[in-house]
Amino acid sequence: MGRRIIVTSALPYINGMPHLGNLVGSILPADLYSRYLKMAGIEHIFICGSDQHGTPIELSAIRNNIGPEKFADMMHARTKRALEEMECDFTYYGKTHTEENKKAVYKLFEALDRNGYICSEEAVQAYCNFDKRFVPDRMIEGRCPYCAGTHARGDQCDDCGKLLDPQEIINPKCSICGKNEIEFRSTTNLALDLPKLSDGIVGFVDRIKGNISKNALNKTTSFVELGLKPRQITRDLKWGFTVPKKGFEDKVFYVWFDAVIGYIGITNEWSAKESEAYWMGSDTELVQFMGKDNIEFHTVIWPGILIGARQGYALPARIMVYEYLNSGKMKFSKSRGNGLNIENALEVMGAEQWRFVLSYLMPETSDTELSEDLIFEIVNKIMNDKIGNLINRAIVISSRNKTLLVGESVSTEIGNKLRTVLDGYVRNFENVKMRESLRCVVELADLGNEIMSAKMPWELAKCNDAEGFSAVMNDVLHICKYVGVMLWPYAPKAGSMILQNFGIKIEPQFGMLEDSLGFIPNNEPVQLFSKIGDKERDALMGFR
């Protein structure tokens, strides 16, 4: 049997609308990879969904004077709509607060408990004397004890990414009321016994080290070498799945526990039969995309859950971790209100433009700066002047001089060049380097424009030189067809518009490039993209 792949993106936490950093850090690259698999004819599913539990959502619901489930479902609908408007093509986009996910969580928890990997811990948890309630780790804020950053929370530092315990926070305060009236009280919670799972986790990390981002591997190795400790999976909260274990019925599962299991629960909601075939298949590859703030949860804890449950679920085969997209020297932060969210971004520019810009700047190996000048350069000079201009000129001049077009053959030189660039494009996608694959598309557009400028086919048309005109334009039209196929994952509508000029009205596959050219003359100008100007610049500046 051939390859069978599950593609997942880290589930967006929907206490607020996801921003462009969330999009480029997990969802967009997963979508690009899924679209590539479609073009390659590889069996796969693309699963994502809204992460709906946790205190931030509960608090947002209180502020909006509605129940947490109603708020979570409202934000789920908004997020799903915004991602679809951004042309993300999920096999299924679900949510974590469902019966299907609850069943999956209970199944894995009970298996872990039965196999001896759940322990109880007498823990100390933050209690706010002003609000008269236990406060979850993430709602404790202060200074990081490791990097001294001021964006530390009780579970993780947003500045250095290190996982934390609330008691480590310097000068802790409650983010609910903003006061420093925090004390730490004793309570008993359940934990995932990571020390008992250490051998299995170390073995997993060793097996996957060739298929994981370098930064993620370094952080994971460091995390494991420090010594694994039990990780609590329950909390003294009300919003979430209640714990099915005697003595702990008044607690709920910690949001991160049911969120990672949500990959399975959401797939079950899509199709129970297909879910089993994928998740339990011996030939399945699980390819996961996430930002660098999600590393240990996916490289240590999530595999530990699957290993300890012994249910036969596929372990990650490749883990792609992305760095931060920064704007104005500041990380995007949905919870802190910095940066463009997806809804607002789509009011400034279209989805095709954002997808292309973010793919061109994709932070695959280091943090990347997003600026108004870069956005303008990519949209106006690369999308419009290079790709859009080539397609429009090639289609219009060929159509207006269709009687001079003889045959459909491509020259040996250009044919070889097309195959070489396509090979590089495929190789980059197979290595999950989508930013580099996009450079291959731009390279072909540059080649087409160079041919047009050097050979001046309009002059050949004036002279009625059918042989010369055909030799030039058949090469250029073949380039345009390749650009249409290869552009499709990044700008689906634009890619499809190009391919309609070659009689292709369905989603492209690489095999179509082996077919005859099939050019269909079209005298209408082909406007794939539109330039941006002062209006868009002013709008972008407003989000600084």
Q: Where are the domains of the chain?
A: 4-116+198-208+255-348, 373-514
For residue 237, name the pLDDT band (cuts at 50, 70, 90).
Answer: confident
User: Which of 210-219, 330-339, 414-423, 530-539 tops mean pLDDT?
Assistant: 414-423
Q: Tokens 């969580």, residue?
A: 105
Distance of alpha carbon 230 from the chain centroid = 29
Which residues 6+ apart lie within 8 Å of 533 measured at CB? none
If we measure between CA atoms, which residue out of 144, 179, 176 comes closest to residue 15?
176
Residue 338 has pLDDT above 70, yes or no: no
CB 51 within 8 A of CB 12: yes
Q: Residues of the chain with pLDDT > 70: what percent?
A: 97
Least confident of 131-140, 242-251, 292-301, 417-426: 131-140
For residue 104, name the pLDDT band (cuts at 50, 70, 90).
Answer: very high
Quote the pTM value.
0.91
CB 153 within 8 A of CB 164: yes
Q: Residues of the chain with pLDDT > 90: what percent?
A: 82
Q: Tokens 């099915």, residue?
A: 244
**What is the structure's pLDDT at 124?**
82
Q: Residue 42 in 3-state DSSP?
A: coil
**What is the structure's pLDDT at 332?**
56
**What is the structure's pLDDT at 334?**
57
Mean pLDDT, rounded, for 68-87 = 98
366 exposed, middle or buried (CB, 10 Å; 0-12, 13-18, 19+)?
Answer: exposed
459 exposed, middle or buried (CB, 10 Å; 0-12, 13-18, 19+)?
Answer: exposed
Residue 303 has pLDDT above 60, yes or no: yes
CA distances to 103, 176, 455, 477, 513 from 451, rounded to whole Å, are 60, 62, 6, 11, 20
Residue 110 has pLDDT above 90, yes or no: yes
Nearest-angstrom CA–CA distance, 255 and 54: 5
Mean pLDDT, rounded, for 220-227 = 93
Residue 220 has pLDDT above 60, yes or no: yes
Q: DSSP code of 249?
A: T
**What is the structure's pLDDT at 137?**
84
Taking only the tens place, the pLDDT of each residue in 384-443 is: 999 999 999 999 999 999 999 999 999 999 999 999 999 999 999 999 999 999 999 999
Q: Which class would CATH give 373-514? A: mainly alpha
Distance of alpha carbon 354 from the chain centroid = 14
For residue 330, name the pLDDT band (cuts at 50, 70, 90).
Answer: very low
Taking only the tens place, the pLDDT of each residue in 463-522 is: 999 999 999 999 999 999 999 999 999 999 999 999 999 999 999 999 999 999 999 998
Mean pLDDT over the full length of the chain: 94
**What is the structure's pLDDT at 326?**
83
Q: Which class would CATH give 4-116+198-208+255-348? A: alpha beta
CA distances to 159, 296, 297, 307 from 217, rounded to whole Å, are 19, 10, 13, 19
**What is the structure's pLDDT at 331?**
47
**What is the structure's pLDDT at 224?**
94
If we measure between CA atoms, which residue out of 328, 343, 441 comes closest to residue 375?
328
> 93-107 b/e with 16+ CB inside 10 Å = b?
bbbbbbebbbebbbb
Q: Can you read off the two tokens belonging to residue 519?
A: 């050019």
Mean pLDDT, rounded, for 122-140 = 85
**What is the structure's pLDDT at 58?**
87
Nearest-angstrom CA–CA distance, 483 and 1: 31
